[in-house]
Amino acid sequence: MSEHEPVVLGQPTVGDEELAAVAEVFRSGWLAGAGPACRRFEERFAKTVGTAHALTTSNCGSALFLGLRVLGVKPGDEVIVGDYTFPATGHAVLQAGATPVFADIRPDVWSADPASIEALITPRTVGILAVDVAGQPGDFDEYRAIADKHGLWLFEDAACAAGATYKTRPAGSLADLAAFSFHGRKGITAGEGGALVSDREDLIAHARKLHTYGIEPAITREGSGALPIPEFHELGYNFRLSDVQAAIMNVQLDRLPDLLAARRSVAKRYHEAFENLPGIDVPVELPDREHPWQAYILTVAPEIDRDALALRIREQGVQCNFGTYASHLQPIYGKKQTLPVSADLFARHLAIPMHANLTDAQVDRVIGTVSAALPS
């Protein structure tokens, strides 16, 4: 790569192995969703994240929505949601007919503050939807204690968290349900896609029907000696992952240890370069957690104009962006809450390039560009 080419913010790691896996699906004749490749990936992914069951979905948003549906969420319910997240999390609650109530976040790791969650519980609260921000799990022991105390369910938005751990337990195994994303910027990807995982067979079985219009997927009728004709008893959706995407995900799962190691190596170099640099703070990785580094987000000092800094960095060919959203500030939610920690970090966070393909030279360029762009 030329030194003048941009250093991109995110990039998938794909190659001949993924192409060969797709070719095998082409030869099989089963390209549609919920087929043999999906089942293979589901079995393997469940083992990876430490759950008994997994269901592939069209994306993480559909996994979140399906999870809320099978948990029985209905109009009039309130769901407490970690505020610092892409609004797909809150959107899923709205799509289920309920009201998202956003919890403010810890200032160090940006996941929902347990004290904020507890203060928001009302008689209408039915559950907690906790987000693994940038992939690092939140305080799930505390979340579970609050949920059990108040008779609530606990749902993990693990969109960015493949490969992360919390007190040695894999992300995805920390709640009643968890949802993952396989979008192009995630640690493992098929371009799009998602998964819903759980130890509860009843929840995943119900979600499996709902994600195929309300009936069992066609693969369950393969090889039948009769002519089974499914019946539709409830409204379902088309939220299936295609077998083409599942074939890619099976290869990506093989790559996961190497992809995580590459991202952690980049994060280590960023830490060493930036941790004592005035004007920015590096992200925190708590000692009882393993961070997958789906994103690397710097916190810019209040006296520095974050937006102007980002433009100076971009002018040098290094991509960067804001971190993620303080969801409660988005107009769709009515701006009914004041969450000072999340709002402050929304204005000061800066995401810099983080992916498994970054070369040493590119990391050097990012470090040099960010350092030079900071006010002296």
Residue-wise pLDDT for 335-367, tens only, equals 889 999 999 999 999 999 999 999 999 999 999
> How would you classify the pairing of strands 125-131 and 78-82?
parallel
Identified catalytic residue from 74, 186, 268, 335? 186
Cβ-contact 212, 204 below 8 angstroms: no
Strand partners, 178: 156, 197
Q: How many residues does the chain have?
A: 376
pLDDT in tens, 154-198: 999 999 999 999 999 999 999 999 999 999 999 999 999 999 999
Instruction: Tell me the whole-structure pTM to 2 decimals.
Output: 0.96
Q: What are phi and psi of 229, to 5 degrees?
A: -115, 110
The answer to whether residue 231 scores a pLDDT higher than 60 is yes
- One-letter amino acid at 334 equals G
Please indicate whether residue 74 is annotated as part of the active site: no
Tell me, what's the pLDDT at 324? Answer: 98
- One-letter amino acid at 172 equals G
Give the CA angle between residues 154, 159, 163 to the nearest 5°: 95
Number of Cβ within a 10 Å radius of residue 237 = 16
The structural domains of the chain, ordered by start, are 16-253 (3.40.640.10), 257-373 (3.90.1150.10)
